[in-house]
Amino acid sequence: MRVTPSRDRVHQRRPRIGAVRNVHDVRRERGSMTAETVMLAPVFLLFLMFLVGAGRVVEAQGEVNGAARDAARAASVQRTEDAATGAAEQTAQSVLGEECPPQVSMAGTEWAEGGVVAVTITCELDLDFLGFGTTKQMTGNSVVPLEQFRRVE
């Protein structure tokens, strides 16, 4: 004996997964994406500002390290310690410019044959343009041996 399903069950449609069952449900959700976007937009903008600020800090650190390297190299080829200090300051100023005014220190320099030139550059990076309202101190160090084929005075 075979049982046939009732006629009502055969023609009854099952809702698909994810399908909207009721027209009223669609009307209640109208505008919800706009509200979600409005709520998430400030969070997204803050995240973008953080990324820009972090990128600026990384870029500035690379510039300060490069300025320290260039300043130490410029100082290492000078004949006198005063000329070396002037060359290091001038090189650091030309590399970093007005955006991050450098403070050059040559502490640790051994001004004798076979010695080394140690340059430390410090500058204050202004992060106020992003709304952080602060500055970050950037420091770069470099140690270069004195030029071997020149006379130290």
Sorted by where each begins, the domain ranges of the chain are 22-145
Tokens describing residue 84: 């070396």
Kind plus residue range of the DSSP H or E element containing 25: helix 23-28
* Predicted pLDDT at 109: 86
Which one-letter DSSP state was computed for residue 145? Answer: E
* Predicted pLDDT at 21: 57
| Angle, alpha carbons 147-149-141 (nearest 5°) | 5
The pTM (predicted TM-score) of the whole model is 0.71
Q: What is the pLDDT along the chain (153 residues), one digit of tens a residue?
A: 566 665 555 556 665 665 555 555 656 666 677 878 888 899 999 899 889 888 989 999 999 999 999 999 999 999 888 999 999 999 999 999 887 889 999 988 888 888 899 999 999 988 887 777 788 899 999 999 987 776 656
The torsion angles phi and psi of 120, rounded to 5 degrees, stand at -120, 125
Instruction: Return the closest-CA partner of residue 117 out of 134, 142, 99, 91.
Output: 142
Contact 75, 107 (CB under 8 A): no
Q: Which residue has the tokens 């023609």?
A: 11
Contact 118, 143 (CB under 8 A): yes
* Predicted pLDDT at 89: 94
* Predicted pLDDT at 3: 60
